[in-house]
Structure 1
Amino acid sequence: MGLADIQAAIAVAEVAAERAAGSVQLIAVSKVQPAERVLDVLNAGWRLFGENYVQEAAGKWPDWRGAFPDVAVHMIGPLQTNKAKQAVELFEAIHTLDRPSLATKLAGLAQARGTSPELFIQVNIGSEPQKAGVLPEGADEFIASCRGMDLPVVGLMCIPPEGETSMPHFTALGEIAARNGLSGLSMGMSGDFEAAIAAGATHVRVGSAIFGARAYA
């Protein structure tokens, strides 16, 4: 597959879900991809990318932004509190706000800078002990707490448990978002983005299906 194939599949899924054309944003996940593959997608006109690691993003995107000033890069991996300052300078959105200490740090940075990336709260939708994210039963309280700090929370993000049907988890995330008046739903990856779109996803995160398999060192 490639970028055009994924774009076409998203368009089909939007129609099937009776969603407006273009209502789903595709985040091209460029983490650990060779520079030439990312540049191919940039040169094809794509402008929304996702990165998992602050250091990796810092090593490539500042230069590429010079050539592609309209690009937007979203942080979709776990964010250490000590990397938050660098992250708010690098990314247009952070999808992994998952704990009070990070919220407090981001609020302080937002106050100092007078601006903040858009924020998605990560919900551990399957209540998996090894996974980051706010537990579903604590999500309402955490959302309210973040709003109390004037953080620009625009939506929720989740990664359903591996090996389970994604749809019930996507539906549950949508219900939490709806009752808290949040419109953004960052959910769905290469294997399940059509189901995510059917459940109301506004952002889907697709990497290897666009760029090819990653070559981890």
Structure 2
Amino acid sequence: MNTSASVLSDKLHAVQARIAAACAASVRRADSVRLLAVSKTFSADDVRQVAACGQLDFGENYIQEGIDKITALQGDAQSLVWHCIGPIQSNKTKLVAEHFDWVHAIDRLKIAQRLNDQRPAHLAPLNVCLQVNIDGGDTKSGIAPADVLALAREVAQLPRLSLRGLMTIPDPVDGFDAQVAVHAKAGALFDSVKTALNLPQFDTLSMGMTGDLEAAIHAGSTMARVGTAIFGGRTYIAQ
């Protein structure tokens, strides 16, 4: 799937304007929220076009698809930062450790340990976030809020990982106030864990997507994961 450069540029700038407006409404600096462009199911050429507009962070849910794009773009976009934002099975940790810069979906110590052990020595420590099932959704991945601090303490001890924060994907709710209420729970949890750990690098609350971007920023998101509003609707493929 390929989209014209002008359309992608317009969409990216519209999202950036939404982030700036949401930050202003929440009395926050516009640069306090990092935009993560979720490029899953879209082509390396689409990523290249968006990167040409200055976007550096890209998120992939499907590991092999993401690696294919990382490989395809290595020659002309070496400054891109790649985030693995989907679930990781044990047999895929080596691939993730070798190719990605960030992992957002750690919810088990076993996966964190494998990523740590398989991170190549010549690369910087892998930036990781713990995925939290903040609203208790039955079908959602992530650890329970009550278990976050214990896992965070263990992950923080792994030398080839850098624990950066928390990630959430709550179930959709209608209305700005309802969205803020859910995200505010994650914001409060993030603040409490940050205080308890006292880690300078614990600075990332990965929260908010196309449909709830403004509410997430109002509640304290520092990294918004936006795909549809930049790349358009998706055609999913079997993995």
TM-score range, shorter chain: over 0.9
Number of the residue aligned with 2:164: 154
Correspondence 1:149-188 to 2 at 5 A: 149-150=158-159, 151-163=161-173, 165-181=178-194, 182-188=202-208
User: Of the candidates 138, 142, 151, which is equivalent to residue 133 of structure 1?
Assistant: 142
Q: Structure 1, residues 122-169: CA drift from partner, whole Å, max 9, x if none? A: 001111232111111111111112123344111000001133632222
CA distance in 1, matches of 2:154, 2:69: 34
What SS does the aligned partner of 1:168 have? helix
Correspondence 1:24-173 to 2 at 5 A: 24-110=33-119, 115-150=124-159, 151-163=161-173, 165-173=178-186
CA distance in 1, matches of 2:106, 2:179: 21
Query: CA contact under 8 A between 1:140 and 1:176: conserved in structure 2?
Result: no
What SS does the aligned partner of 2:103 have? strand
> Which segment is superposed worse, 162-171 or 100-109?
162-171
| Backbone CA RMSD of aligned residues | 1.8
Note closer, same or farther for the CA distance 1:111–1:42 as it changes in structure 2 (3 Å cut): closer
Structure 1 segments unaligned to the other structure (5+ residues): none
CA distance in 2, matches of 1:12, 1:65: 33
Note closer, same or farther for the CA distance 1:88–1:111 as it changes in structure 2 (3 Å cut): closer
What SS does the aligned partner of 1:191 have? helix
Number of the residue aligned with 2:198: none
Number of the residue aligned with 2:32: 23
What SS does the aligned partner of 1:2 have? helix
CA distance in 2, matches of 1:168, 1:35: 37
CA distance in 2, matches of 1:139, 1:146: 10
What SS does the aligned partner of 2:27 have? coil
> Which segment is superposed worse, 142-151 or 4-13?
142-151
CA distance in 2, matches of 1:211, 1:193: 16
Note closer, same or farther for the CA distance 1:35–1:215 as it changes in structure 2 (3 Å cut): farther
CA distance in 2, matches of 1:103, 1:146: 7
Query: CA contact under 8 A between 2:85 and 2:103: conserved in structure 1?
Result: yes
TM-score (norm 2): 0.84
TM-score (norm 1): 0.93
CA distance in 1, matches of 2:186, 2:132: 8
> Which segment is superposed worse, 168-177 or 131-140?
168-177
CA distance in 2, matches of 1:129, 1:146: 25
Note closer, same or farther for the CA distance 1:69–1:35 as it changes in structure 2 (3 Å cut): closer
> Which segment is superposed worse, 97-106 or 201-210?
97-106
Structure 2 segments unaligned to the other structure (5+ residues): 1-9, 195-201
Query: CA contact under 8 A between 1:14 and 1:20: conserved in structure 2?
Result: yes
Whichever residue aligns with residue 227 of structure 2, its letter is G
The alignment covers a number of residue pairs equal to: 217
